[in-house]
Amino acid sequence: MTSVANPLAGYLLVAALLFAIGLAGALTRRNAILVLIGIELMLNAANLNLIAFWRYGPHPEALTGMMFAIFSIAVAAAEAAVGLGLVISIHRHAHTTDLDAMNRMKG
């Protein structure tokens, strides 16, 4: 198997698998919180790609990939806070977090 010899390819495959799992979770679950969990998994898969390319790239001393990952972690934290706040707000109005039941725009 070709990927065994190359460490970067192994990390990229793990990241691709994590992304696919997160996407499947975001697309198939009913609960809005589980959809957010899937989105967090996808963001983390992207971070793993950034760090792996930084580590095995030609200029790791430039810190570019790691800085991008750190900023991405900060943005993901903001996204999680706002997303969960929205879920709580929707639950207060509609008394459900079932996304299949959320089918009207008017509050």
Residue 105 near another protein by CB under 8 A: no
Task: Output phi, psi for 98, to 5 deg.
Answer: -80, 115
Compare residues 78 and 105 and give the one whose CB is closer to another protein: 78
Among 39, 46, 54, 103, binds another protein (CB under 8 A): 54
Residue with smaller CB distance to another protein, 27 or 104: 27
Task: Give, as ranges, the residues between 3 and 32 that touch another protein (CB under 8 A).
Answer: 3-14, 16-31
Q: How many CB atoms lie within 10 A of CB 63?
A: 11
Site for another protein in 78-97 (CB under 8 A): 78-82, 84-89, 91-92, 97
Residue 58 within binding range of another protein, rule CB under 8 A: yes
At 31, give phi and psi (nearest 5°): -75, 130
Query: Residue from 57, 104, 105, 106 that binds another protein (CB under 8 A)?
Result: 57
- Token reading at 68: 């991008």
Residue 17 backbone dihedrals phi, psi, to 5 degrees = -65, -45
The answer to whether 43 and 26 are in contact (CB under 8 A) is no
